[in-house]
Structure 1
Amino acid sequence: MKVFLIVSAIIILFLLGIRYFLFKIGDPVNAKLSNSYFHHYRKNLIVYSPMGNWFELGYFESDADVATFQPINIDFGKDKNNIFWKGKKQSVDYDTFEIDDSYIIKDKNHVYITNGKSFDLLEIIDGADPKTYQLLDASLKDYRRNNWFKDAHTVYYKNKKIEGDPKTFHPVNDMIAVDANFIYAIISYRGEGLEMLGVDEVIQKHKMIEGEIHPINESYAQIGNTVVSAFTNAEFEIHTFDTIKRIRKIDYWNVIVDHILINKGVLYPEIDAESFEIIENDFSRDKNSIYYCCKKIVGVEYSSFKIISDKYSVDRKNVYFRNAIVKGANPEIFQSASEYDVWEDGQNRYKDGKAISSLSKK
């Protein structure tokens, strides 16, 4: 019993020691307003620790005045003299600083953003007028509403100044925007795969067209008898028809205008639009043929066709890479090899649809 008490006392002292030397945060300053601002466990100071998870997310010992400090929201706070963000003092005008219901951060001099070059310092939006800076259109839905702003003279996309008339500018969907004078392409990314980069640009592409404006889906828009898209390699495509009676949405990349398929902004009149359907990834078909990226897979046997990856397919006779035959490959045993993006058929190894080495015994 005596040994048990001694061991228990050692464990308790050990735990208290851990608490004393490792724990940096004590009680929250105001749990209703923020779960990230705390009193220090041992010192008379304010600590900022995201969600109180100091062990994984760290903590910052602020120089805020302890007696007067109060959180404004999760990450912002103030004392009698200064404004703080993530526990760090910010160079803003204290008396006029505000964060409105749209999470616009401003004072009498500037509008600020939290996603600038420094992780704990507010950054000024160059040239933005704090008196008139506001949401472009509060009626826009969800994420789109918070991407677009304006002031008396300028339109801003994700807080970047762009061309456009603030009185008439509005996004039609994720890819197209318009104002009274022009049509704009909204470019979020450039490149593909590992080379894809976020750019967040809005580019003036074409003079405005007469006619009613309607989003078709998130990537196509109709303006009068014209269909516009902006996610292609050219970053803008426009197709004008004599009339448009019917538009059928298939998916993000494909729409059918009357009897014409448009895939990624390109017209494919040779594909039967009425029977067209997506099979998987970039593979599709109509009643006559099978396609890869809307390019016909020549000679493929419709009844035995099977997709085996995002780029390879087989039928009874051949292996296909995208829309071309892989010469000499055996479709019966063609399979993925242990090496990334390499395939084999018992005789040869293949990469990007071409034989790269032999598997035959020497």
Structure 2
Amino acid sequence: MKVILIVLAIIILIVLGFRYLFFKIGKPVNLDVSNSYFHHYRKNIIVYSPMGNWFELGYFELDADVATFQPLNVDFGKDKNNIFWKGRKQQVDYDTFEVNYFYLIKDKNHVYSRDGRNFNELEIIHDADPKTYQLLDPSITDYRRYYWFKDAHSVYYKNKRINVNPETFRPLNDTIAVDADFIYAILNFRGEGNEMIEVDEVIQKHKMIEGEIHAINETYARIGNSVVSAFTKAEFEINTFDSITLIQEIDYWRIKVNNLLIDKGVIYPEIDAESFESLRYDFSKDKNGVYYNFKKIAGADSSNFEILSDQYSKDNQSVYFEDTILKGSNPEKFKFSSEYGTWEDGENQYKNGQIIASIK
């Protein structure tokens, strides 16, 4: 019994010692406002730790007056002398500083961005007028309302000033915006795959078209008898019809207009839009056949078609690499090999649609 008590005492001392040495976060300053500002566990200081997860997300000790410090929201706080963001003092006008909507940050002199080059320092949005800076459209119902701001002279997208008519400009969806004179592409990225870069640009693409204007979904908009869209590869597409009698949304990337399929802004008249069905990866089908990236896979039987990977597929008669037959392959035995990127059918090994070795 005595040994057990000694062991328990040692365990308790170890736990208390560990907590004393490593646990730095005590009670939150005001949990109703912020879950990231805390009193130190044993020092008379304030600490900043995102969501209190100091072990994974970090920890910073503030040079703040403890008695007067109070959080303003999750990341902002102040004491009697300074404004803090992520626990760091900010060079702002203390008396007039305000933060609203988490994204509208300003004082009498400047409007500020949280997305500057210095991770811990607010960046001035140059030329923005703090007196008139406000949300472009508070009626936008989701997070995107905070992408768009305006002042008396300009419109800003993700804190970047854009060259549009501020009196008539409005975003229609994720990809298209308009003003009285032009149609604009909203581009968040340029390029594809490993070459994709973030740009966050609003680019003038086409003169305004006469007619009714409304969003079809988050990627397409109708303006008169035209359908417009903008994507990362083709930055702007406009398809004009003699008249539009039917528009039907399929998904984020695809719509039907007058029973024509449009995918990422491109019309595919050879596809039967009524029977079109998107499959996995870049495969799809309609009543006339099976397609890879909208190229018909000649000879493929849709009744027993099976997708094997993002490039390989098969039916009872053949194996296909993208939209072409993999000549000489055996669909019954075709399977993924133990070697990365290779396939086999008992007779040959294949990679990138080519025979690379004979197994026999």
Judge same fold: TM > 0.5, yes or no.
Answer: yes
Structure 1 residue 240: Cα displacement: 0.8
Partner of 2:226: 226
Partner of 2:303: 303
What are the Cα deviations for residues 287-337 of structure 1, in whole angstroms up to 9, with x where unaligned? 222211221112223433222222221122221122111222222211122
Contact 1:154/1:166 (<8 A) preserved? yes
The one-letter code of the counterpart of 2:326 is V
Between 229-238 and 73-82, the greater mean CA deviation after superposition: 229-238
SS at match of 1:20: helix
The separation in 1 between residues aligned to 2:93 and 2:305, in whole angstroms, is: 68
* Counterparts in 2 of 1:316 and 1:3: CA distance versus 1, 3 Å: closer
The separation in 2 between residues aligned to 1:60 and 1:250, in whole angstroms, is: 49
Q: For 1:20-59, list aligned pairs within 5 A.
A: 20-59=20-59
The separation in 2 between residues aligned to 1:348 and 1:254, in whole angstroms, is: 39
The separation in 2 between residues aligned to 1:264 and 1:5, in whole angstroms, is: 71
The separation in 2 between residues aligned to 1:195 and 1:336, in whole angstroms, is: 29
What are the Cα deviations for residues 187-239 of structure 1, in whole angstroms up to 9, with x where unaligned? 22233333333322211110111111121111111100001111163211111
* Counterparts in 2 of 1:346 and 1:196: CA distance versus 1, 3 Å: farther
Partner of 1:359: 358
The one-letter code of the counterpart of 1:94 is Y
Partner of 1:143: 143
The separation in 2 between residues aligned to 1:181 and 1:343, in whole angstroms, is: 55
The separation in 1 between residues aligned to 2:90 and 2:203, in whole angstroms, is: 34
* Counterparts in 2 of 1:85 and 1:102: CA distance versus 1, 3 Å: closer
Task: Tell me, yes or no, if structure 1 residue 209 matches structure 2 residue 209.
Answer: yes
Task: Tell me, yes or no, if structure 1 residue 244 matches structure 2 residue 239.
Answer: no
Partner of 2:292: 292
Structure 1 residue 360: Cα displacement: 2.6
When normalised by structure 2's length, the TM-score is 0.94
* Counterparts in 2 of 1:326 and 1:83: CA distance versus 1, 3 Å: same
SS at match of 2:166: coil
The one-letter code of the counterpart of 1:306 is E
Structure 1 residue 102: Cα displacement: 6.0
What are the Cα deviations for residues 167-196 of structure 1, in whole angstroms up to 9, with x where unaligned? 111111111111111111112223333333
* Counterparts in 2 of 1:163 and 1:352: CA distance versus 1, 3 Å: farther
| Residues paired across the two proteins, number | 360
The separation in 2 between residues aligned to 1:18 and 1:303, in whole angstroms, is: 65
Partner of 1:65: 65
Partner of 2:132: 132
The one-letter code of the counterpart of 1:42 is R
* Counterparts in 2 of 1:45 and 1:318: CA distance versus 1, 3 Å: same
The separation in 1 between residues aligned to 2:7 and 2:273, in whole angstroms, is: 79
SS at match of 1:255: strand
The separation in 2 between residues aligned to 1:300 and 1:14, in whole angstroms, is: 69
Contact 1:232/1:264 (<8 A) preserved? no
The separation in 1 between residues aligned to 2:190 and 2:347, in whole angstroms, is: 39
The separation in 2 between residues aligned to 1:289 and 1:258, in whole angstroms, is: 21
Large movers: runs of 4+ above 4 Å: none
What are structure 1's unaligned runs of at least 5 residues?
A: none
Task: Tell me, yes or no, if structure 1 residue 333 matches structure 2 residue 343.
Answer: no
Contact 1:327/1:354 (<8 A) preserved? no
Partner of 1:11: 11
Partner of 1:270: 270
Between 65-74 and 35-44, the greater mean CA deviation after superposition: 35-44
The one-letter code of the counterpart of 1:187 is L
Contact 1:164/1:179 (<8 A) preserved? yes
What are structure 2's unaligned runs of at least 5 residues?
A: none
Between 212-221 and 300-309, the greater mean CA deviation after superposition: 300-309
Q: Percent identity?
A: 69
Structure 1 residue 4: Cα displacement: 3.6
SS at match of 1:303: coil
SS at match of 2:279: strand
When normalised by structure 1's length, the TM-score is 0.93
CA RMSD, Structure 1 to Structure 2 (Å): 1.8
Contact 2:228/2:236 (<8 A) preserved? yes
